[in-house]
Structure 1
């Protein structure tokens, strides 16, 4: 048997984190594994750049130069996926597009064509598994479900400053 866990286990859908609401997950994983079960966790490779608290996955990603960048100026290509901006309450009465525009954080996408990204990704995965800062939060997963790895964004194109106005970015049809 395999237990899959979707993005809810993460703190605000931040990759490589554990929500306080799921503080019992590490012990549950240990019990399931002792019973012969396997555990698969999800990750959405979109790393928030709008955090007000330190977010090691983003900080180390910038240091290791792992994110997709514009070729002409070297700026990070920003999208919007998960999570919401920190310390906000989403007005759920708004339509989806308005919620995305007003409440979603800017995210950077790992550039998996770079060797530095593979090394960064491996380190982040190992720390999720062992959590050297808080071993009680270690998530001893058996496999990883990499979701939305296209990269996927909830907006058309990029944000801040947006996609360049070229034929490739603005074809005469919407794919």
Structure 2
């Protein structure tokens, strides 16, 4: 959610950035054609009025407030191949070899959740991907970079390093009684890192080195609204904003933003280079840390058509580099 409006009046452009993390509303004359209004469920009425007179100047003013996107690495501007089905090394190499044999230009291959050991983040399934380092080195020599998915949901599993460290240090979100909150995502019973805490972001960022050491070039943050298989998280799930407890009702719209920030800082520290991160959820200012894609669409012309204004609106919201699943994600034609 990016609560930013660009308007035109008598040829002059203006912008309103409503910096409120709660659920916000922009009514463009639906209730009353005589006026527009914006509001929020809670929180402060912090907003910025940005005068153009051109749309370009409005966007420039908005990014002065929220930050500019770093220059993307050259390899990220090429074709990127991603599909949920490359569940073992043999299949991934088939795709890589086929692209090269057919002369189809491609710079990046993505790995979805099946590369992990039981969907545990920051792990590899060594039965399916016996030697990730050697595999990625081979792909690099073929001209491919590799991007791996990392979801926020951490599998509840004693003996699993990420879960044990997070539990011991109080790094996970809790319910309103202070008990670690659980829900269900791909790993099954899972907990959610409290990305509002600087300590948690630092810890999460440091774990990115596990992927970098394997040769991974970028990170794909998915399911980070955060999502669950049981619907939205309850409003009273609690997060620690540097010593101040806040509810999910306030945090929901910035959870993905804070995850991207932690990921960015960790990758930059580990590599010394501008990181490449793709996120599904974002807020105003996420462009400083990550690019975004438009989520799971379908393989239809209608969805391809819809992606164009979605990308244009992301661009006008400071996300100058963004993308979509051009061939669709589901519902194969």
TM-score w.r.t. the length of structure 2 is: 0.37
Question: Is the aligned partner of 1:61 residue 2:176?
Answer: no
Q: Which deviations, in whole Å up to 9, do the C-alpha atoms of 1:39-92 show, x marking residues without a partner?
A: 10001110011x25x10001111223221112x321111110021xxxxxxxxx
**Larger radius of gyration between Structure 1 and Structure 2:** 2
Output the CA distance in 2 between the equivalents of 1:147 and 1:114.
20
Q: Which has the higher strand share?
A: 2
Question: Is the aligned partner of 1:38 residue 2:145?
Answer: yes
Equivalence map 1:2-151=2 (5 Å)? 2-20=108-126, 21-49=128-156, 51=157, 54-70=159-175, 72-83=176-187, 105-130=188-213, 139-151=214-226
Q: RCO higher in 1 or 2 (8 Å CA, sep ≥ 6)?
A: 1
Output the CA distance in 1 between the equivalents of 2:178 and 2:207.
24
**Helix, strand or coil: the match of 2:195?**
coil
Contact 2:111 2:149 in 1 (8 A): yes
Shift of 1:27: 1.2
Contact 1:79 1:157 in 2 (8 A): no
| Equivalent position of 1:102 in the other structure | none
| Runs of 4+ more than 4 Å apart | none
Question: Is the aligned partner of 1:153 residue 2:238?
Answer: no
TM-score w.r.t. the length of structure 1 is: 0.67
Q: Which runs of 5 or more structure 1 residues have no equivalent in the other structure?
A: 84-104, 131-138, 170-175
Count of aligned positions = 131
Q: Would the alpha carbon gap of residues 80 and 156 (structure 1) be closer, same or farther in structure 2, given more than 3 Å must change?
A: same
Backbone CA RMSD of aligned residues: 2.2
Contact 1:65 1:116 in 2 (8 A): no
